[in-house]
Structure 1
Amino acid sequence: MRSARTDEQVIRTASVVEGSADLVWQRVTSQDGINDEMGPYLRMTMPRSFRGRSIGNVTPGTRIGRSHLLLFGFIPVGVDDITIAGIEPGRMFREESRMTGMRIWVHHRTLEPTNDVAGEKTIVTDEITVAPQAPLQFIPGWGALVSTVLRGFFAHRHRRLARTMLAMNSAPPPQA
């Protein structure tokens, strides 16, 4: 979908995953969870000052810092200067970052519990708003290509998250 500004693209992906919203929140805001969702295609580093921490515990407006984007986990392809602009712990975060090649990068993720009789499930929704920087924005078809790649990438992330949450929820409880 295109936004009111002709050069912005808005990509929306939603899916239902196993597990409570609290459990899903813990996973999607952890560095391991983020990198697992993106793998094996992409991995993000974290600034030294933020390593081992969760974006789920930051104050709105917190600049996390510069993260390197690594294709297949080792080929540098860009930088993401991450800021968590908004957060409602257990429910949503809004990342507004400066990213290589993008004039606008906003990632808004929400979690909504379902009332499924078969067990606890959560609706995960990602809405990405992007606009490429010049000169990329002037290349014919560039916006459509970015939109197609991001749709596929976030569908991949949702499949990986669903698989991980299913495995976590079907694992036997630890022995006492």
Structure 2
Amino acid sequence: MRRVIALTSAVCLALAVAACTGEPDADAPATPAPTSAAPAVLTMIRANSTCEHVGTTPAPVWVDDAGPGLPATQVRSAKGDVVAAIFGEPLRAAPRDDGRNNKILFIVGKPRNGEPLRVTATPAGGGAATTATQEANSGPGEIYPTIVDVPAPGCWHLDLSWAGNTDSMDLLYAP
């Protein structure tokens, strides 16, 4: 067993050294250079009730106030005043059987003023709404760590309201 580990370690070291030295392989795919230290924010729209991604934009500066360690998948709201950092990716219709939950960290760009966030989720094709409320009792920054469970998979339209502000976004829930 030690011989296998030693051999594996030697091969890995040789590959690492080879990758860092010599001329680049002309047939190797180019590695894109990072464009920003800030994570990209996925912008989504309601397009034929499919929750299509429309591209990426840099995260707004106020997202940095939420602290480090945000997941890479983030969704920006329609007006741009809310970013949803998706910790429970992929979001799944309830009940989840994988031991995880549908945690979404809503980061708002306008002050909470101590007021709760109200989330009303409606299936894009119509149907009964699901609601969630999260008190303004978390930090750092203007954040609302929330679990938003929905009863069926598909595209869900979320109406968000807090401290006299409103915005909306669409999120896709897998089966």
**TM-score normalised by the chain length of structure 2:** 0.27
Instruction: Tell me: higher relative CO, structure 1 or 2? Use CA pairs within 8 A at least 6 residues apart.
Output: 1
**TM-score normalised by the chain length of structure 1:** 0.27
Higher strand share: 1
Higher helix share: 1
Higher Cα radius of gyration: 2
